[in-house]
Structure 1
């Protein structure tokens, strides 16, 4: 009898709202041969006590702060000890990166002058970042807080307003402040639902979000595919 195909390895996907989507990150991981195990801790989903059954994890963003006192924020931040201890590939995006920074002893806080990054902003790779891959010159942002660089972490990319944009901790833990996962539909939704934030100091008007996408998104998308490959690799054939 022919042998059964090997089950596809799973990536744990942690989202923070009922209608949130992993977007292009999910699409790219599926295309590479992974399955997605989606959990939403704010809605009561438990996170696994080990990642033995997963090939890695991605924690996405959300409207809450990594400093909020909600029980799920504390539990999720504490849970990060599991991928770190087990040395499993881990990626934190925006809130996920801020939770990782908090867990590692860093600090999450707003800009000293109240500035935000909401729209498209320049990004500059550090020498350590350049050695890994080619980074986009412009990235999409949607945040009011940033993080300090945790001790023993390596800064991979920087920017003017919030200087810590991407970092690596150890071999397998990564955090990025910006968003490469947004599909066009997701960005349109964010622009509509987040329009009240465009009045904040440093934010860009909604038309510039979608206009900038036409110019810079192809480069951001290409980078995201390479970055996910760097973190998670490809599943073994079988």
Structure 2
């Protein structure tokens, strides 16, 4: 296989995320929330591996006519934001005005965030909450918190998109990668387990989701509070 074909194949892998988004939307339209989230978890897994593959096969050099970053952002907005916001309202998890308010807040704030050219930091983390509403709302589905908890956390995270709080990229952020990478793999496994259990997961699954979610949400901020030590030498 030539390098150009290898690079183009990575673009095709990224593009499958649009197919998984459509399948998730079909499931959501039928109110099959478990199947919807299984497709979203599959899309999340693809999103986790296509970046490293793109860098390995040098897609910017061998398939530059297709913008993989733009393709990725389009798919991410569908799978991370749009479909989960739709599910939040249509599932009845947050009914009435509260659901409409929260869904509009999520979509409006996220489209502004996704267009921000400063969303990545020098260490390949995210500046501000990276709009991973698919992960947040899945945890809501699995734990079914009170409606005011859902609204409160959604407002806090929507605002956090625009504050200089770091959130680690589990694959690309070097610091604590030995913890972050297993954490996102475990989170994906727990999420699939919860969806397969039709969001009535056993306690172990729920606990795993909460612990891994707390780490992924807080690791970047913890790194800011506890910056790495730099070794210095006296002149």
Which structure has greater strand proportion?
Answer: 1
Instruction: Flag the structure with larger Rg.
Output: 2
**TM-score (normalised: structure 1):** 0.31
**TM-score (normalised: structure 2):** 0.31
